[in-house]
Amino acid sequence: LPNFLRFIGVTKDARTAGPGRRLELFTKGCIRGVINPCQGCFNEETWTFEGQYREMRIEEVVKMIDRDAWNRQVTFCGGEPILQAKGITKVAKRLKEIDPSFHIIMYTAYKLDTLMKYGLRFVWVPKYGEAMLDSLKRFTRNWSHNADNTRYEFELLSPEDVKELMTYIDIIVDGDYQQDKRLTQHETMHDGGFIGSSNQRVIFCDLTLDKGELQYLPPQIYNYGLEHHCKCCGHQIHARITYCNDLCEKRYNKRVKDMELIGVM
């Protein structure tokens, strides 16, 4: 369990889902989106567990990615991919068996250190809707309910499941999207700048597993760090200045602090 993944869509050659051009897969369903969505979420159609989606068996997903990811760059976003992490683990494992050069990124709104410590548990009550209940039951066998079926407890992932996922995913971008910490001024993220708000972190899974503590990129690496671009938002600016304006400077400094800079990888 499970032997399938649910998507609402796939984009080829996406430039806002990690370094390079990537095959980006949008998973269906976000518990947070249903209950208390992130303000400014750009992907509302992925929230609900009802409505249209495509359910594909693991082997079908693997074949599709092997066919369409011409440069072996793949990103799972959503929605909330962590809900389907067991299926994604199977896909990523199989892809790396086919070709170890696959580079795989996954986004999640949950903090990775918390997931590694506690796994992922969730309580369902009727106001969240039957469709969510049905989906959660299909994502895991580990659940129980009270006598009158008005409260279900799910263990979607154990800490071991999270570590297995990290064995096959190269980078996890964690943290929810927080509009007041938005990094870019464009409607869409600029090429190469693939996190939306400064609280999110770009975490190397293999190094983190090796070292036993989070290893992640300092922001100046993934947000250009080039001359003639604002250090914060990436906009092209005059060569003599560093930021577009005071707001960008403030955002950048806050972001460095938020990211708890640990050194250049």
Site for ligand SF4, rule CB under 6 A: 30, 32-33, 37-38, 41, 43, 46, 78-80, 109, 176-177
Burial of 238 (0-12, 13-18, 19+ CB in 10 A): exposed
CA atoms within 13 A on the CB side of 67: 7
Question: Nearest Cα to 144, choosing from 132, 134, 152?
Answer: 152
Nearer to ligand SF4, 9 or 66 (CB): 9
Bridge pairing between strands 103-108 and 73-77:
parallel
Residue 259 near residue 198 (C-beta atoms within 8 A): yes
| Least distance between ligand SF4 and beta carbon 81 (Å) | 9
User: Hey, is 10 helix, strand or coil?
Assistant: strand
Which C-beta is closer to ligand SF4: that of 43 or that of 73? 43
Q: How far is the CB of 121 from ligand SF4 (least distance, A)?
A: 17
Least distance from C-beta 173 to ligand SF4, angstroms? 11
Q: Which is nearer to ligand SF4, 34 or 74 (CB)?
A: 34
The residue sitting closest to ligand SF4, measured at its beta carbon, is 41
Secondary element (H or E) of residue 79: none
| CB nearer ligand SF4, residue 95 or residue 156 | 156
- 47-55, long-range: CB within 8 Å, 24+ apart, which pairs? 47/79, 48/131, 49/129, 49/131, 49/132, 49/134, 49/135, 50/129, 50/131, 52/8, 53/6, 53/7, 53/8, 53/28, 54/6, 54/7, 54/8, 55/4, 55/5, 55/6
Please, which residue, 23 or 31, has the CB nearer to ligand SF4? 31
Who's near 131: CB < 8 A, 6+ residues apart? 48, 49, 50
**Smallest gap, in angstroms, from Cβ of residue 26 to ligand SF4?**
9
Residue nearer to ligand SF4 on the CB measure, 30 or 248: 30
Nearest CB to ligand SF4, comparing residues 162 and 230 = 162
CB of 226 to ligand SF4, least distance (A): 28
Smallest gap from residue 106 Cβ to ligand SF4 (A): 12
CB of 137 to ligand SF4, least distance (A): 20
Check the CA dihedral 53-55-58-64 and report its sign: negative
Judge whether 219 and 256 are in contact, CB under 8 Å. Answer: yes
